[in-house]
Structure 1
Amino acid sequence: MQRFKKGRILHAVTIHNGVVYTAGLVADDLDTDMAAQTRQLCRKVDDLLAEAGTDKTKIIRSQIFVTDISKKPEMDAVWLEWLGEDLPCRCTVGVADLGNPRILIEIVITAAQ
């Protein structure tokens, strides 16, 4: 098992048996709207997957948590632009809180290496 991008309470990425797992990822600039936070997360996922030796075409599953489900179409537009036709399994869940009222979206990714 390999872990990297250690934070104070977790690693951002764990690799086990050729599968890459990310922790919950949030945008760095929280003073932006749903579309901008989603774009930031897409770039962050690209970077983490590249560091793990894979890319977005190998995403198996994603879990997405949003604090305002009415903004899901904004997230979907960015998501589709980023992934094109290579769509993984996905779950999008509306939640009341992500720990900071400025966090609009959190993404968890599982990908083949």
Structure 2
Amino acid sequence: MPPNGQSFLLDPEKVAGPTRYSHARVVNPSTYHTIYVSGIAAIGPDGKYDGVTENADGTFTINVAEQTAAILRRVDSIIKGASDGKANLYNIVDAVVYILDMKTQYADMNAEWNKIWADRASAPSRATVGVKELPDPRFGVEIKATAVFEA
């Protein structure tokens, strides 16, 4: 069984499109530990914002691809730390992606996501939710995840 459980696809032969996620992941809870990762945005422990350019007029330009890549690196570090190195991004069974503008930012976020997971069978289940705002105007995307690893 893969590190993030068994993938379930409702109609695997009919699944098409550029988005990679499983419809569900099946995990035996008696043999696995669960890590619940809080919503993570593109700010590091040093206070530096990834994927943000401050404009002369005080507004911000957000690069969602850069932010998504940075968030996924942080989530990977969190999972590795919480599991004492026994797990990583590939142990994620479920994720929620919060994004400010689905029309202009979804494709960039999804392209970074697809760089990590090569196909739907290996990818976690995922919901992507368009939101009005995130906790900081420099955030374009935030990701919350649940990972499992063998006990």
The answer for the alignment partner of 1:37 in structure 2 is 67
> What is the letter of the counterpart of residue 38 of structure 1?
T
With normalisation by structure 1, the TM-score equals 0.80
Ranges in structure 2 where 5+ consecutive residues have no aligned partner: 1-31, 44-48, 53-61
| CA–CA separation in structure 1 for the residues paired with 2:141 and 2:96 | 10
Paired residue total = 97
Give secondary structure in 2 for the equivalent of 1:18.
strand
2:76 alignment partner, one of 46, 49, 52? 46
Q: 2:35 aligns with which of 4, 12, 20?
A: 20
Alignment-derived partner of residue 26 in structure 2: none
Q: What's the TM-score, normalizing by structure 2?
A: 0.61
Q: Report sequence identity in percent.
A: 29
Larger relative helix fraction: 1
Deviation at 1:55, TM superposition (A): 1.2
Aligned residue in 2 for 1:93:
129
Give the deviation of 1:21 after TM superposition: 0.2
Question: Are 1:74 and 2:108 counterparts?
Answer: yes
Mapped contact 1:56–1:83 kept (Cα < 8 A)? no
Bigger Rg, which one: 2
Runs of 5+ consecutive residues of structure 1 not aligned to the other structure: 1-16
Structure 1 residue ranges (4+ consecutive) displaced by more than 6 angstroms after TM superposition: none
Once residues 35 and 135 of structure 2 are traced to their aligned partners in structure 1, the CA distance between those partners, rounded to angstroms, is: 25
Paired position in structure 2 for 1:10: none
Q: Given residue 94 of structure 1, which amino acid in structure 2 is its aligned partner?
A: G
User: Please, what is the CA RMSD of the aligned residues?
Assistant: 1.3
